[in-house]
Amino acid sequence: MTPSTLPGYLSPFLTPERSPRQAAVEWFRAARYGLFIHYGLYSLLGRHEWVQYRERIPVDEYARLADRFTAERFDANVIAQLAVDGGMRYVNLTTRHHDSFCLWDTKTTDFNSVRAPGCGRDLVAELAAACDQRGLGLCLYLSHGRDWRHPHAPNNERFAQSALPAYDPPDPTFATGDQYDLNRYLDYLTEQVRELMTGYGPVAAIWLDGIATPLSPRGEDGELIPDYDPRTHGDPFRCQQLYDLVHELQPQTLVSYKQGYLGTEDFFAPEHKAYNRFGESFEHRPGEVCTTMTPGSWGYHAELENQHLSADDVWARLADAAAHHCNLLLNTGPRPDGSLQPSEAEVIRTVGRRLEREGFPTG
Ligand code: GLC
């Protein structure tokens, strides 16, 4: 990307001495606070985003949810405006969660929101436009270590027991034994990243999830490799190539992989508390702690609706993130129809008003 196509929000951070990525790091630190949106087929069931895995819903049965997916009240402008009103500077959307359903017009699979007969929309494109209009950063969550549909996705033969649902009998669509080829999954994943990086304008961050899987490969004997470290054991997931591709396609895009996989990520993005795998200071490299308004569920959970964090709880999370020199990425899971949970949105707005009055807590 030439400097003229860099996102406008980076302008105050660009200096002759800084590369676009260094400017993006400074922007990210200054941004402090972002909105995380978990939305997908699992939202329709309202029983946690891991419902397919937990209830061992067969792949073909789960896929039928796509016929009921309409996203009729998923309004990217409402979501982006909530971020603005909440005092946030970026939005992160689950473009493809572990269930494999994609929210953009991908050529890698028909299992996507555009092909869903009742939807026919590219939700990533809609959010990209809404963020662009408001000067918000667009961050794209993508499941990396898990995909409960792709035949060559990490499985339980080669990785820890949590990579695929424990189907009994095994689901026939997944390759096993000699038929299994992780590279076919990685090629698909790489192509998805390429699509996201080339079709939606400036991307603030590619946010990879599912680190437990690549960190738990099994050896020839089928046993988990103790103390596995991709930096010394080698990385069958080709992660550095993926990071390099992101940076090649857009030099300012930041890459994260949760608490850090190779240690070459641009920022660390652990869950719930500030830590990284390398014990590095967040003053040295940025961190972002993600947490969710509904404790225990990132995706919409019908039984837990209204049991969310209060404005004071969110404030305490902001203070805690600040104390650790980290950003806060606060999640809300839209309802089945894509609308925001009203009382969670109201808490986010209340915190936004307090931020406007008082500024960020110092921690
Ligand atoms: C975990 C969960 C996932 C959630 C994510 C958010 O990795 O697997 O459901 O999306 O955390 O950080």
Q: Which residue has tokens 């993005």?
A: 269
Structure-block tokens of residue 103: 């929210």
CB 289 within 8 A of CB 329: yes
| Residue 322 in domain | yes
5 confidence band (pLDDT: 50, 70, 90): confident
Q: Which residue has tokens 């809300």?
A: 332
CATH number, position 117: 3.20.20.80
CB 289 within 8 A of CB 270: yes
| Residue 127 in domain | yes
* pLDDT reported for residue 3: 53
Mean pLDDT taken over the chain: 97
pLDDT at 4 over 80: no
- The two beta strands, 33-37 and 205-209, are unpaired
pLDDT at 44 over 60: yes
CA of 209 to the centre of ligand 1 (A): 7
As a whole number of Å, the end-to-end CA separation of the chain is 37
CA of 41 to the centre of ligand 1 (A): 15
| Residue 328 in domain | yes
The predicted-structure confidence for 161-211, as pLDDT tens digits, reads as follows 899 999 999 999 999 999 999 999 999 999 999 999 999 999 999 999 999
| Residue 179 in domain | yes
Task: Please compute the mean of the pLDDT values over residues 31-50 and round it to a whole number.
Answer: 98
- Residue 31 φ then ψ, to 5°: -65, -35
The predicted-structure confidence for 146-161, as pLDDT tens digits, reads as follows 999 999 999 999 999 8
Q: Range of 292's domain?
A: 3-358
Q: Which atom of ligand 1 is nearest to the CA of 331?
A: 6
Give, for ligand 1, the residue of 50, 99, 209, 273 to mutate: max count of ligand atoms closer than 8 Å to Cβ. Answer: 209
Number of domains in the chain: 1
Closest CA to 205 of 3, 10, 53, 2: 10
**Residue with CA at minimum distance from ligand 1 atom 12:** 271
Q: Which atom of ligand 1 is nearest to the CA of 50?
A: 9
- Please tell me the distance from the alpha carbon of residue 341 to that of residue 330, in angstroms, as a whole number: 14
CA of 269 to the centre of ligand 1 (A): 11
pLDDT at 2 over 60: no
- Please tell me the distance from the alpha carbon of residue 171 to that of residue 283, in angstroms, as a whole number: 46
The predicted-structure confidence for 282-307, as pLDDT tens digits, reads as follows 999 999 999 999 999 999 999 999 99
| Residue 66 in domain | yes
* pLDDT reported for residue 114: 98
Q: Which residues line ligand 1 (CB under 6 A)?
A: 38, 49-50, 209, 271, 290, 298
- Please tell me the distance from the alpha carbon of residue 258 to that of residue 276, in angstroms, as a whole number: 8
| Residue 138 in domain | yes
| Residue 363 in domain | no
| Residue 163 in domain | yes
Structure-block tokens of residue 355: 């931020």
pLDDT at 1 over 60: no
The predicted-structure confidence for 306-348, as pLDDT tens digits, reads as follows 999 999 999 999 999 999 999 999 999 999 999 999 999 999 9
